[in-house]
Amino acid sequence: MGPVRGYKRRRKMDKKVDPNASASGSSEDGCLDWWDVFSKRISGLSSPSKDLDKFESVFRISRKTFNYICTLVKEHMMAKQANFMFSNGKPMSLNDQVAVSLRRLGSGDSLIAVAESFGTNHSTVSQVTWRFVEAMEERGLHHLQWPSTEQEMSEIKSKFENIRGLPNCCGAIDTTHIMMLLPQSDLADVWLDRQKNHSMVLQAVVDADMRFRDIVTGWPGKMNESLVLQSSNFFELCEKGERLNGNKMKLSEGTELREYIVGDSSFPLLSWLVTPYQGKELSESRAEFNRRHFATRMVARRALARLKDMWRIIQGEMWRPDKHRLPRFILACCILHNIVIDMEDEVLDELPLSHHHDSGYRQEICESTDETASILREQLSLYLSGRLPP
């Protein structure tokens, strides 16, 4: 499979599933009954934390979210006959399969470790998890899409403006590296990034709630942020005026601010992508602009840090991953990240909020600057400082 590029290859949209729907046609009590039985089979998993019950400490999501995920993937996962078994010969139910998959994606433990904990074999864990990833891709894409209505985009703009006052901002962009331990026979230089790690790049545009709105993944670590952006469908749509083409905002007489996203200095300054000023000796208005800009774009950094913390299969160094399947694993984790937000899962409140997702990576500087964008950024800087004439 090639890179996942902002869903240029659109699938038929699924109808939305009621978040309160129950898994496997059971009630919430039914899920409790399943967990009572299932939890007795688990060996060696973490004990409950102070504020989470054992279910939440094992899966790091609420039972309500688990139920919803089961309902979401049920049709796809149960469509094909498969005799997935525990070691004692008992067949796996849908709930069992989802539980194994979520544990594999969420813990980052090896196939063997997950298999031993759940009383099955590593081949079964691998097959069940892959079927789950396919189901998320097939049934969950409506959780990861660009805003489709003016009202939805207006709400996003309002939330971004509430952070530090940037008007008409529609998103924040950032990239992270998914590190891989590759076999000696597959150590191609193209996967070697600037920190001498073998990695795959994930680029994400997020909204103010840290929800992924567009992702690009599959590209090798050797590619820098600017090149990944320019190779994306998102870039093409924005350049054609088919995205970030909504209502403009009047800054002053003769000056209008189009919709845009914010990113750090590793990205080019474009009419629809605003980056900070570079240099140390900045005017007061430019320095203030950079402070506002930094606080706003931190949303993307926190989203990627939360993604890796929640779905630890893509945290750290992956051991000999299938590079053709890895983009789809990353996509599934991004969809799950959004589902947890969409479900307003209270477990999120118990998780620490980090700003670090690419430890050890130094920021590169992109010197590419669009002249018109540079003038508009200056106008925005003066507007925010109150120095732009009406």
Tokens at 249, concatenated:
């905002």
- Per-residue pLDDT tens digits for 39-62: 877 766 654 455 557 888 889 999
Q: Mind listing the pLDDT tens digit for each residue in 125-157?
A: 999 999 999 999 999 999 999 999 999 999 999
Among residues 51, 53, 262, the alpha carbon closest in space to that of 166 is found at 262
Instruction: Tell me the C-alpha distance between 370 and 350, whole Å.
Output: 43
pLDDT at 367: 87
Domains of the chain by residue range: 13-142, 146-334+343-384
Say yes or no to pLDDT of 307 above 90: yes
Neighbours of 126 (CB within 10 A): 14
Q: Each residue of 212-234: pLDDT tens digit?
A: 999 999 999 999 999 999 999 99
Q: What local confidence, expressed as pLDDT, does residue 110 receive?
A: 92
pLDDT of residue 4: 65
* Cα–Cα distance for residue pair 325/315, rounded to 1 Å: 16
Q: What is the model's pLDDT at position 316? A: 85
What token pair was written down for 390? 């009406």
In three-state secondary structure terms, 227 is: helix
pTM, 2 dp: 0.90
* Tokens read off for 22: 């129950």
Do the beta carbons of residue 335 and residue 144 sit within 8 Å? yes
Residue type, 80: K
Euclidean distance between CA atoms 81 and 382, whole angstroms:
63
> What whole-number distance in Å separates Cα of residue 203 and Cα of residue 117?
33
pLDDT digits (tens, 9 = 90+) for 244-266: 999 999 998 888 999 999 999 99
Q: Which percentage of the chain shows pLDDT scores above 90?
A: 68
Ramachandran sector of residue 165 (left: φ over 0; alpha: ψ -120 to 50; beta: rest): left
pLDDT for 22: 43
Q: Are 170 and 259 within 8 A, CB to CB?
A: yes
